[in-house]
Chain A
């Protein structure tokens, strides 16, 4: 099935650094969602975006719905060790029925103390 192009695939950063990741597609999306998954757990919803240009924050996390509606961005400021995990983007494509989502492959984040 179609996947979103999520980058980078992995990041190794020092505690305190800022992190940026993004998802892109050739299709238009109505909804963008960002999830975090820790080892042995299910994905946990971090931020939901519904309008082009929308910028939404959740603590140190900020996500944006791209103006073209074909991309989305997630930033984490002042990273801490507990930010470690896999971050997934997911989107609901224009014309998709019900809540069916398209997922990115994930960005593996490692934070060194």
Chain B
């Protein structure tokens, strides 16, 4: 089992560029999440998907969109990147026990 995988691991964007962060889990979990982690701010929830076919906003959704492609995959899209979106992005998934498992993260810099 790979658990939760994320691609890419690093990315540098110019302001205004777009990109999609990919996430996949092989644990047959229903719920998936996207967080950003910034120094002094902890982990903040961007969007989540309680089950295949549903998505909901979290704490900081502005500037992002998500797609739950199937039960395994949950992608995060930045349509027009801004320097304020420089952060480390984590994908996570949860099964019936509410134990949440994280991916290795994507380190994004927007210049």
Chain B 98-111 interface 0/1 with A at a Cβ cutoff of 8 Å (1 = within): 11111111000000
Chain A 26-41 interface 0/1 with B at a Cβ cutoff of 8 Å (1 = within): 0000110101000011
Report chain A residues within 8 Å CB of B19. none
Select A103's contact among B4, B43, B50, beta carbons within 8 Å.
Answer: B43
Tell yes or no: B84 within 8 A of A by CB. no
Interface bin, chain B: 20 to 34
* A103-B42, A103-B43 known; A33 vs B94 contact (CB < 8 Å): no
The secondary structure that dominates the B interface is strand
Tell yes or no: A82 within 8 A of B by CB. no
Interface bin, chain A: 20 to 34
Select B102's contact among A3, A43, A106, beta carbons within 8 Å.
Answer: A43
Tell yes or no: A105 within 8 A of B by CB. yes
Chain A 6-39 interface 0/1 with B at a Cβ cutoff of 8 Å (1 = within): 0000000000000000000000001101010000
Tell yes or no: A45 within 8 A of B by CB. yes
Query: Does B104 contact A1, Cβ atoms closer than 8 Å?
Result: no
- Identify the closest chain A residue to B59 (Cβ): A1
Tell yes or no: A55 within 8 A of B by CB. no
Tell yes or no: A58 within 8 A of B by CB. no
- Identify the closest chain A residue to B102 (Cβ): A42
Given the complex of chains A and B, what is the CA–CA distance between A53 and B98 in angstroms? 18
Q: How far is the CB of A104 from chain B (nearest CB, A)?
A: 7
Query: Does B100 contact A90, Cβ atoms closer than 8 Å?
Result: yes
Report chain A residues within 8 Å CB of B33. 99-100
* A92-B98, A99-B94 known; A41 vs B104 contact (CB < 8 Å): yes
Further pairs besides A35-B102, A41-B104: 20, Cβ < 8 Å: A1-B44, A1-B59, A31-B98, A40-B105, A41-B105, A42-B4, A42-B102, A42-B103, A45-B101, A48-B99, A98-B48, A99-B33, A99-B94, A99-B98, A99-B100, A100-B48, A100-B58, A104-B42, A105-B40, A105-B42
Task: Return 12 A-B CB contacts under 8 Å, by A number.
Answer: A1-B44, A3-B42, A33-B98, A33-B100, A42-B4, A43-B43, A44-B102, A45-B99, A45-B102, A48-B99, A100-B33, A101-B100
